[in-house]
Structure 1
Amino acid sequence: MLSITNYEGTLTEALVCRGKPVARKNIDGVFELTLDTSEHDNPHSFNLITEEGIIEAGGFQFRIKQMQRKSRGKVKSVKAQHIFFDNIWLRQEGTNGGHKTLYEFATFALRDTGWTFTSDFDEDGYIEAFGNDNIVKLVNQICETFECDYEITSNSNIHFSKMLGPDSDFVYQYGDNIIELSKSVNTDNLRTRISAKGKDNLVIRYTSPQAVKWGILDADDISDERFLDSENLMDKARKSLKDQPELSIELNSIELLDKQLGERIWLIYEPWDLKCRLVF
């Protein structure tokens, strides 16, 4: 069952959508909902569907961020993101950097937010001058440092993991359970060299081994005065460089997609000489 609560939080009504609502969730923390609603199906709740309103679906709460209204049929199309991303409006002032565990960094990042976290690992990492930024950016910085993912598991908890979801031997294969397959390759953001500046005139330049294949493609310089050490600044530069074409694969299958977030399955498609692991 779906419901809609107005921005002020004073009124809540049941919500009926046209067709099926679509939830999109990935291992980078993205969690969003899109749906269409009509005034005919929602005589009592249609006027509550406004920007920044809250839609509840499957026990999760999503804040409306984009909305399009169509005169024909009096329909509203909305795109909403999970309320975790309200934390982009909240800053964690002060710094608490250095060599610390994931538990220590996450505790600081989520301090006084009402959010908690769980994790299936707790190792040491190094972040210079961690803090003085919004909560979502700090969580992403933790994931970048510890090379992990996070999943929104409730309306007040996130889970950090080195590898979300199980390894599965399930196979999607051409001529068996694949109806249609599409592959997209994008080189718009392909870069092979980057310069980075830290504090006290610390400057480094990193060139990817992929420059042998693609040539020298300079990325925009980055600057972060929290970095005092060339080794850590070099690591940040390396991780920020997109030195491979961006590849995405979409498939339409006759199998039920009852897969877990992060689950890894096999995809075999002989016409493209393709055999790879996909991550849901």
Structure 2
Amino acid sequence: MTDIFVSDYDKQFKEILTGFDMNGFCETWVENQQWQLDFEIEKTEANPFEFDLLDYESSVFFLGQEFVVKQLSHEAQGNRIFKKVTAPHISYTMQDGYQYNTRTGTLSAMDCLKHIFSGQLGAMGFTYEFIDKNKVVEKVEQENFGNGNYLKLIQEVLEDYKLVMLADNKHLTFMPREDYGQVTENEIRYQYNTDQVSFDIDTLSMKTQIKGFGKKKEDDTYYFPPRTYTSPESSKWGIRIQDPVSDERYTIVGNMDRRLRLDLQDYPATTGSINLKLPYECDKGDYVRFIYEPMGLNYDIQIVGYKQYPFSAGKAPEITLSNNKKTIVNIMAQLAKAIKKKGAM
């Protein structure tokens, strides 16, 4: 069984954590947004020192990853004392630093990352790598990029360049969405390996063609003619036109072409929440086969979030699947606001 360790803020002590509710211990991950631990622990005769080590800003180590306690509540039931803990991954502490300087111009993703890491972020112990094996990520026109906390700036890079970030403690790996996740042979079949499933299948937003307009020159002509991308799915569904992209940051044709391919929702937007009957091996970004016979749907869909209960043999993970290209709400930004609000009380 995997051990969990707790360390005080100054890292003077590090002890195995015992006495926590094993059935309720939960690891939650949401792509580009959230990675945290939630659990409850009771103070016993066997764990008084570890229990006291577990405090605001102390660290919890799970599967080699460090999580920092940001939310902590104390409860008592008679003579029994409990703590409820929420500990986001150490990578989200980048929001404690700020890049005051800005850059303007046609910048690559690496240019932006270098600008972010040229500030205090490197001194905070963060390192990074950018992997673009197929050379699909091109430059984007940026205006006053900077003047924000590091987490906010990283989120801008993820959105502008259509990237995914994977964290290994304070080492951050950035890659294009196209290179992210492994296609597996796992299968999610409605009423087969699930006892509870909720799917939102939206064909209203399914389109097969999109046009993009880039930046204009001073003489009111475009740097490149408007681009049109037509999906191969148009042979099945016909021409369905999505609202155009109009973005003056784009001066390079290839950059706009990639944006159109990624933005076009050319298959039914599907988001599903599944409670599985049995333990299920899932990893961040894995593709699984989604089969929904009532609608004749059978295609690969990506794991974009999960809740796992690693210490409970009877609890299979809850998985969120999605092929929806729409931007989703930033949970970590909301968490940061909640922490700030709570601290002001």
TM-score band w.r.t. shorter chain: 0.7 to 0.9
Q: Which has the higher helix share?
A: 2
In angstroms, what is the RMSD of aligned CA positions? 3.1
Q: Aligned partners of 1:59 and 1:266: how far apart in 2?
A: 30
The runs of 5 or more residues in structure 1 that have no matched partner are: 186-208, 212-228, 240-245
Q: Is the CA contact (8 Å cut-off) linking 1:99 and 1:124 kept in structure 2? A: no
Is 1:98 aligned with 2:98? no
Q: Aligned partners of 1:248 and 1:70: how far apart in 2?
A: 36
Q: Aligned partners of 1:181 and 1:231: how far apart in 2?
A: 42
Deviation per residue, 1:87-143 (Å, 9 max, x gap): 111001211232122222112212242211122216332222211111111111111
Aligned match of 2:58: 53
Q: Aligned partners of 2:68 and 2:296: how far apart in 1?
A: 42
Following TM superposition, by how much is the alpha carbon of 1:32 offset from its aligned partner in structure 2, in angstroms? 0.7
Following TM superposition, by how much is the alpha carbon of 1:253 offset from its aligned partner in structure 2, in angstroms? 2.0
- TM-score (norm: length of structure 1): 0.72
Q: Aligned partners of 2:248 and 2:149: how far apart in 1?
A: 26
Aligned match of 2:15: 13
How do 1:208-223 and structure 2 match up within 5 A? none
Q: Aligned partners of 2:184 and 2:61: how far apart in 1?
A: 31
How do 1:80-91 and structure 2 match up within 5 A? 80-91=87-98
SS in structure 2 opposite 1:97? strand
Q: Is the CA contact (8 Å cut-off) linking 1:97 and 1:131 kept in structure 2? A: no
Aligned match of 1:166: 182
Aligned match of 1:118: 129
Give the total of aligned pairs: 233
Aligned match of 1:195: none
Structure 2 counterpart of 1:124, which letter? E
Identity of counterpart residues, as a percentage? 20
How do 1:234-253 and structure 2 match up within 5 A? 248-253=271-276
Q: Aligned partners of 1:120 and 1:255: how far apart in 2?
A: 35
Aligned match of 1:77: 84
Q: Which has the higher strand share?
A: 1
The runs of 5 or more residues in structure 2 that have no matched partner are: 202-240, 251-255, 263-268, 304-345
Q: Aligned partners of 1:88 and 1:18: how far apart in 2?
A: 30
User: Does the C-alpha gap of structure 1 residues 97 and 257 become closer, same or farther in structure 2, counting only changes over 3 Å?
Assistant: farther
Aligned match of 1:26: 30
Q: Aligned partners of 1:5 and 1:25: how far apart in 2?
A: 22
Is 1:128 aligned with 2:135? no
Deviation per residue, 1:7-37 (Å, 9 max, x gap): 3433332212221532112321421111121
Following TM superposition, by how much is the alpha carbon of 1:267 offset from its aligned partner in structure 2, in angstroms? 1.9
Q: Structure 1 stretch 136-145 or stretch 118-127: which is displaced more?
A: 118-127
User: Does the C-alpha gap of structure 1 residues 110 and 85 become closer, same or farther in structure 2, counting only changes over 3 Å?
Assistant: same
